[in-house]
């Protein structure tokens, strides 16, 4: 790994997103996929990873071990369990086997009648079981005593209170990432593909959400054991925490991470929305990045907002974005419904629904002509093709609506067409890539000048830009002594 290299990673979360990957191959450094997605779509992802490795002539994928999910409440439907249909006569047996219940544990809580059942559902019920991908991962990652508890309860820091358990866990997670491709392919049968069957670009540490001191202590032990077992340059620890705990402990995090052997830190601050974050929150975020960078540690943002791309000259080593997702992520995600078309405003650095973005443009009286739109809003290939008159074209080109469908609340409404969603997603990726390409070679003064221009451009919608500029100016040499701050 090269010191001071700047990375752009694309996150893939569903089979349909592979088209975005193939069409933007030359521009990003690697694709990142969660381990449970790899388990459920191993054929598709293996093929994708091998093709990327061969085409780019280097490792171009990362497997996110995603171990934090096992410490979430499994009873939440967005977690590791889901309701599936089965024959009524098989329900109890299936629940017992899936959840590994003992004689004292009642399987009936995980069985229910099918609501609004149809003729094909006769003699069937629903059972609340662990998804196959997570059951496979739990057996691969954990010792049997812990794996057998998965799905019944959330794992706690007490499950990792001895070095033997931690050592086995860390070893298994490292091995999983290293061998994910090679174990799927027979060397003789696939000998022509061997150049593409290589380990990931980075090997990531296991991780859980650090939301209190007990998990902080456990994760320090996990990180240390990870560094003891894996000493290569491509090792990276993963720091997941929420914004409140991060702001209260950012100095402590920095001090302890500096002591670790890994150069790279993959950072995920849950529910950290850069466009609404306070000045103190932003200052702690930037100070954490600059402090680690000054101590030869490189931070890669796992869920990157609009500000993150502007932080390359301040020491950030990489950003990560997905196609159909927001620019931040909660540890406990909001349950989704049918997708909405979101348009990213590159000069405002926010992503909103198409109509909301259009209204912002109109309120600021910019982008009303083709020339002005491409100069002040976006000049990516998608916008050059679709915006021929001005911002008004957004409503049809990016906001095209299909037939009425029921939303998650049962209400009928019109949703974006697949074509509109694809345009929005390609626009997002390409405009972020253009930002990345410029920012990775920019100076801190270039960034300051860029934000200053954008503040004047978006006169009625620039509060977050003003706040960003105020924070970043604290880190520009000459603005304060040595460009450094004490942590808040």
Q: How far from 146 is each of 98, 105, 225, 240, 377, CA to CA, in Å?
A: 15, 17, 18, 21, 52
**Residues 159, 155: Cα–Cα separation, whole Å:** 7
DSSP string, 203-236: EEPP--EE-SHHHHHHHHHHHHHHHHH--STTEE
Spatial contact of 210 and 178, defined as CB atoms under 8 Å apart: no
Same domain, yes or no, for 160 and 123? no
Which of 42-46, 190-194, 265-269 shows the lowest mean pLDDT across its residues? Answer: 190-194
In-domain check, residue 410? yes
Give the CA diameter of the chain.
75
Residue 215 lies in a domain: yes
Whether residue 168 is found in the same domain as residue 314: yes
Residue 278 lies in a domain: yes
Do 270 and 169 fall into the same domain?
Answer: yes
- Looking at the domain assignment, is residue 447 inside a domain? no
Instruction: Provide mean pLDDT across the span 62-76.
Output: 96
In this structure, the answer to whether residues 215 and 91 fall within a common structural domain is no
Evaluate whether 84 touches 98 at the Cβ level (below 8 Å).
no
CA-based nearest residue to 474, from 482, 466, 486, 483: 483
* Span 220-249, pLDDT tens digits: 999 999 999 999 999 999 999 999 999 999
Q: pLDDT category, 332, cuts 50, 70, 90? A: confident
Q: Are residues 62 and 16 in the same domain?
A: yes
Residues 291 and 379 placed together within one structural domain of the fold? no
Buried b (16+ CB within 10 A) or exposed e, 171-180: ebbbebbbeb
Which band of pLDDT confidence, cut at 50, 70 and 90, is reported for residue 415?
A: confident
| 475 assigned to some structural domain | no
CATH code of the domain covering residue 204: 3.20.20
- Would you say residue 227 lies in a domain? yes
Q: Are residues 170 and 307 in the same domain?
A: yes
Q: What is the pLDDT of residue 3?
A: 65
pLDDT at 336 over 60: no
Q: Are residues 199 and 293 in the same domain?
A: yes
Same domain, 172 and 198: yes
- Could you read off the pLDDT of 144-167 as tens digits, one per residue? 999 999 999 999 999 999 999 999
Assess if residue 450 is contained within a domain: no
* pTM value > 0.75: yes
Q: Does residue 394 have a pLDDT over 70?
A: yes
Number of domains in the chain: 3
Same domain, yes or no: 274 and 160: yes
Q: Examine the domain organization and report whether 277 and 310 are in the same domain.
A: yes
List the domain range (segments joined by +) for residue 121: 81-130
318 and 414 fall within a common domain:
no
| Lowest-confidence pick of 114-123, 169-178, 257-266, 287-296 | 114-123
């Amino acid at each position: 790994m090269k010191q001071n290299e700047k990375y752009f990673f694309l996150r893939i979360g569903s089979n349909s997103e592979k088209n975005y990957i193939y069409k933007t191959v030359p521009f990003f450094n690697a694709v990142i996929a969660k381990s449970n997605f790899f388990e459920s779509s191993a054929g598709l992802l293996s093929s994708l990873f091998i093709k990327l490795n061969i085409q780019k002539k280097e490792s171009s994928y990362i497997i996110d071990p995603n171990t934090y999910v096992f410490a979430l409440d499994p009873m939440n439907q967005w977690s590791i369990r889901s309701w599936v249909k089965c024959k009524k006569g098989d329900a109890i047996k299936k629940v017992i086997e899936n959840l590994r219940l003992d004689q004292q544990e009642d399987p009936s809580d995980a069985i229910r009648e099918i609501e609004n059942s149809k003729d094909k559902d006769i003699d069937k019920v629903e059972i609340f079981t662990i998804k196959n991908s997570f059951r496979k991962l739990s057996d691969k990652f954990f010792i049997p005593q812990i794996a057998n508890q998965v799905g019944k309860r959330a794992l706690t820091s007490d499950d990792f209170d001895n070095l033997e358990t931690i050592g086995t866990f860390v070893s298994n997670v490292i091995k999983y990432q290293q061998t994910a491709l090679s174990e799927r392919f027979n060397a003789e049968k696939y000998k022509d593909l061997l150049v593409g069957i290589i380990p990931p670009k980075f090997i990531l540490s296991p991780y859980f959400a650090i939301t209190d001191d007990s998990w902080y202590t456990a994760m320090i032990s996990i990180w240390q054991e990870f560094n003891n077992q894996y000493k290569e340059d491509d090792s990276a620890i993963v720091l997941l925490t929420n914004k409140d705990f991060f702001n209260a402990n950012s100095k402590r995090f920095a001090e302890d991470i500096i002591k670790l052997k890994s150069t790279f830190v993959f950072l995920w601050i849950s529910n950290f929305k850069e466009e609404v974050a306070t000045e103190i929150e932003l200052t702690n975020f930037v100070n954490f990045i600059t402090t680690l960078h000054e101590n030869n540690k490189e931070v890669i943002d796992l869920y990157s907002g609009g500000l993150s791309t502007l932080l390359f000259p301040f020491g950030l080593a990489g950003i990560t974005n997905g196609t159909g997702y927001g620019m931040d992520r909660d540890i406990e995600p909001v349950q989704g419904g049918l997708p909405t078309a979101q348009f990213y405003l590159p000069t405002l650095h926010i992503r909103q629904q198409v109509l909301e973005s259009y209204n912002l443009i109109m309120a600021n009286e910019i982008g009303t002509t083709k020339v002005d739109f491409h100069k002040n809003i976006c000049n990516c290939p998608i916008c050059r093709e679709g915006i021929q008159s001005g911002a008004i074209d957004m409503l049809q080109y990016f906001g095209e609506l299909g037939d009425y469908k029921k939303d998650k609340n049962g209400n009928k409404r019109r949703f974006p067409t697949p074509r509109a969603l694809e345009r929005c997603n390609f626009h997002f990726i390409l405009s972020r890539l253009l930002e990345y390409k410029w920012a990775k070679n920019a100076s801190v003064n270039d960034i300051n000048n860029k934000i200053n221009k954008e503040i004047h451009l978006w006169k009625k919608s620039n509060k977050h830009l003003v706040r960003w500029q105020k924070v970043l100016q604290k880190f520009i040499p000459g603005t304060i002594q040595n460009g450094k701050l004490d942590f808040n």
